[in-house]
Amino acid sequence: MFADFLKRLTAPDPAPLPDTDARLALTALLVRVARTDGDYDESEKARIDRIATTRYGLSPFEATKLRSEAETLESEAPDTVRFTGAIKDSVPYEDRIGVIEALWEVVLADGVREAEEDALLRLVSKLLGINDRDSALARQRVTKE
C-alpha cells in the first residue's frame, strides 16, 4: 500500500510532498520515535493523536486513522537515516521545527525520558537539518506547556 509513497519519498530528487503525504510521513516519524524504547504505550498513542488533531485540524477519528496508517508506514519505511533525509528534502524547514516539538512531546508523553529516545531525537534533529540549539528550544517550549 505504501510502496509507491515510499518510492516517491526516497527518490533521488523528491518533489515537495502534498500536505496529506507530509502529514503521513511526519506522523510516521512520531511513531518511530515512540517505538524507540520498545514500549509503545497508550499515552504515546494518545499524544500522537492529540498532535495530529491540533496540528492538522483533524477530528479524533481522523487522527486515529492517520496514526494507524503512520504505524503501518513506519514499519515499512527504510532506516531512519534515509527516511528522515527524504522528509528533510521534501518538507519546509518551519514544518520540520514543528515536528521536533511534536517529537519531544511524544518522547515526554510517558513521563520517562529514555536514553534511546534522546539519542534518536538528536539523530533525527540532525538529519532533519535542525541544529542542537533549535532542538533544545523546541524541547523547552514543550516542557513549559
Report the number of distinct structural domains present in the chain.
1
pLDDT tens across 24-56, in order? 888 988 998 888 878 888 988 999 999 999 888
Q: 4 vs 47, which has greater pLDDT?
A: 47
* Residue 8 included in any domain: no
Domain of residue 33, CATH code: 1.10.3680.10
The neighbour count for residue 132, using CB atoms within 10 Å, is 10
* Residue 73 included in any domain: yes
Q: For residues 11 and 62, what is the distance between their CA atoms, to the nearest angstrom?
A: 28
Q: Which domain holds residue 44?
A: 18-144
C-alpha cell at 116: 534511546
Q: 20 vs 129, which has greater pLDDT?
A: 129
* Residue 42 included in any domain: yes
pLDDT tens across 82-111, in order? 778 777 877 788 888 888 988 888 888 777
- Confidence at residue 6, expressed as pLDDT on a 0 to 100 scale: 63
Q: Residues 6 or more apart from 134 whose CB is under 8 A from it?
A: 97, 100, 125
* Residue 99 included in any domain: yes
* Residue 12 included in any domain: no
User: Side-chain half-sphere of 19: how many Cα atoms within 13 Å?
Assistant: 5
Q: For residues 50 and 56, what is the distance between their CA atoms, to the nearest angstrom?
A: 10
Considering only CA atoms, which of 83, 77, 45 is closest in space to residue 64? 45
